[in-house]
Amino acid sequence: MAATLVFVRRRGCPGLSAALQPRKWTCGHMSVRYASEAGRSKIEKVLIANRGEIACRVMRTAKKMGVQSVAVYSEADRNSMHVSLADEAYLIGPAASQLSYLAMDKILQVAKTSGAQAVHPGYGFLSENTEFAELCKKESIIFVGPPSSAIRDMGIKSTSKSIMSAAGVPIIEGYHGEDQSDQHLREQAGAIGYPVMIKAVRGGGGKGMRIARSEEEFVEQLESARREAIKSFNDDVMLIEKFVDNPRHVEVQVFGDQHGNAVYLFERDCSVQRRHQKIIEEAPGPGISPEVRRKLGEAAVRAAKAVNYVGAGTVEFIMDSKHNFYFMEMNTRLQVEHPVTEMVTGTDLVEWQLRVAAGERIPVTQDEITLNGHAFEARIYAEDPNNNFMPGAGPLLHLSTPPAEIDTRIETGVRQGDEVSVHYDPMIAKLVVWAKDRQAALTKLKYCLRQYNIVGLSTNIDFLLSLSGHPAFEAGDVHTNFIPQHYNELFPPKKGTSSEMLCQAALGLILKEQVLTNEFNLKWEDRFSPFASSGSRRLNILYTRNLSLMDGENKVDMKINYNHDGSFDIKIQDRVLKVSGELVNEGDVTYLKCSVDGTLCKSKLIIIDNTIHLFSMDGSVQLSIPIPKYLSEVSASGTQRAAVAPMTGTIEKVFVKVGDKVEAGDPLMVMIAMKMEHTIRSPKAGTIKKVHFKEGVQASRHAPLVEFEEEAESE
């Protein structure tokens, strides 16, 4: 018996039309049964063939609709958030995605075992896999996505370009032919003219994509793109096209149903990227006129209708400085950055996906879709921007976020105490904000980024703050070469920590010591005893101690005088600052409220693993407590006798052997880690003494990969 659907309006973005406000569906049963009219199917339970934040995102909407959710997980994800959020969860294999999240037979078996009528693939993994969509159809399981024919046609870039050209969608000309020999591809690149873009025809997400700026580097870039394409898509067929310098990356959200309807939900600008992957997105695109916006949308709808598209899809365009735009590719899935579109249109695209997959029509017409306000999404990654955005992994020892509100969304799949796994994408979360206009939304974004505090691994949060505060970004002058063009401003020479922040760190450490002293019930007059603290001496109840902190590689010495009134005089070089304050606990968070030379300050204080972390509205500071020499170890990365692994990963290719002579910068090995290919290059010129790893073997972070002959000392 079908459950009765009761429509209950929930709060949406301010000013949105009633037709587009998100709705909450309340049911009298555990699941929703759609009305049994022609062409509709029943979805009571959906399997999410994915992990992390997108799996959690789909589950929340399914729960809102009264649809049960089924999770699948690898051994590495046994205790992950998406497993705990699901109504049911099934182990499908070891950590390697090829043996778990890409194992189609295992996932379909779970769908049948659990009784799920539909599979939502999320993004990545199997979301754009033609074979998987066809297998779902064969097993009478609803694939929440487009028909396999659309995935196939749009997934092969050469085919998609032909279809788009026939549909009247502007394209960039290039070579999309069958002759894939190195020589022929190099000839085509020369005919097109350098620089050229080398792309895997089944590519996406920046994988299997390289830029060749000259004929001399073409073959090296081609081979690298092929290797990554094989790993990501099991296909190394390439296309060559003209590379447009400093273009904008503008994409349009489209949606189609099984009744031949298609609409566009305006554009997103995703121009600012690193490693050909997006890092910050916004909707609508800055500076785009209503006329260009309409033309973009209409072109995207023509693209969708040309392949009989069903569900959520994204048509990506390259836009030049004169706002001419050209088809780049179509992502036949829900896009990572879809929340910014939801924020400015008041829609729930996952709900639309599930309803359209069940046979319903798109709930609105094109004329009913209105644009309201402005939204940003910042992708928070476990990576080191100062080391070429090298992805990382590790535990989230501390994780606190801005509060989730009607205009602020935290899309994540991790919690404090979880670990960012080396086996998967290093994304920690997506921070999404909305406001009435671009400037207000940008102000909100920067405010929320300062409230996003993580300890345990390197993140790009400080870089996102620097990026979002750059004058060119604030002006909307964005393009895909934004980071290289403004590199010096985005990565200024590191300055030493200010004396004021050093004082805050010292005060925080002292107050923490006092808290620990209180736990041993010592009297006040004994707290400053040389036996209770690592200081020097006590005279007339005043106490003086020396304290050293490491500011990066620099050691900072401080002399601290304890005063009768509970304040401190801290001397750093020739400057003395008067400091006082207290620790205040707010929930699980400790704040340091203090006065430094009369200036009031408030910072979040976290002391973990011999490191003091301070987070404030002015940014973050990390200072470490020096470790005695007899306890310290020499870092493998500090020696020039070996090239070391920048992270844990699998050695994909080895270019050198014992006895080879190399120059500084020569490629030594290729490592696959965090779903990316990384070329390990020689740190110096020399002769190879030993190669520690073979192809296909996993290397741990900082493990020596290649060892050099010791250099003879000059006489």
Q: Supply the residues annotated as catalytic.
A: 333
Query: Is 27 within 8 Å of 4 (Cβ atoms)?
Result: yes
d(CA 33, CA 43): 6
> What stretch of H or E contains 282?
strand 280-283
Task: Return the amino acid letter for 166.
Answer: A
Query: How far apart are the two ends of the chain, measured CA to CA in Å?
Result: 93
88-93 sheet: strands from edge to edge: 88-93, 68-74, 45-48, 118-120, 142-143
d(CA 263, CA 271): 23
Strands (E), 540-648: 542-551, 554-562, 568-572, 575-586, 589-596, 599-608, 611-616, 619-624, 642-644
d(CA 440, CA 452): 19
CA-derived radius of gyration, the chain: 28
Query: Is 514 within 8 Å of 521 (Cβ atoms)?
Result: no
Residues near 364 by Cβ (< 8 Å), separated by ≥ 6? Answer: 19, 20, 263
Residues near 693 by Cβ (< 8 Å), separated by ≥ 6? Answer: 651, 654, 669, 699, 703, 705
Instruction: Report the candidate in 97, 175, 161 with the shortest Cα–Cα distance to residue 129.
Output: 97
Alpha helices by DSSP H, 156-289: 157-166, 182-192, 218-233
The tokens describing 557, both together, are 């010495």
- The helix-helix angle for 104-114 and 130-138 (nearest 10°) equals 30
Instruction: Report the candidate in 46, 49, 48 with the shortest Cα–Cα distance to residue 31.
Output: 46
Q: Which residue has the tokens 């509709």?
A: 40
- The helix-helix angle for 52-65 and 349-357 (nearest 10°) equals 70
DSSP three-state, residue 587 = coil
Query: Is 444 within 8 Å of 433 (Cβ atoms)?
Result: yes
The tokens describing 423, both together, are 């086996």
Instruction: Report the candidate in 610, 645, 651 with the shortest Cα–Cα distance to residue 631.
Output: 610
Neighbours of 525 (CB within 10 A): 9
Residues near 705 by Cβ (< 8 Å), separated by ≥ 6? Answer: 642, 643, 644, 645, 651, 668, 669, 680, 691, 692, 693, 699
d(CA 487, CA 489): 6
DSSP three-state, residue 372 = coil
d(CA 305, CA 153): 12
Query: Is 373 within 8 Å of 437 (Cβ atoms)?
Result: yes
Instruction: Report the candidate in 315, 426, 365, 376 with the shortest Cα–Cα distance to residue 648.
Output: 426
CA distances from 559 to 513, 582, 600 (A): 17, 20, 22
Query: Is 116 within 8 Å of 47 (Cβ atoms)?
Result: yes
The tokens describing 471, both together, are 């004058």
Half-sphere exposure of 715 (CA within 13 A, CB side): 0
Query: Is 156 within 8 Å of 202 (Cβ atoms)?
Result: yes
Neighbours of 432 (CB within 10 A): 24
d(CA 697, CA 649): 8
The tokens describing 156, both together, are 């092969």
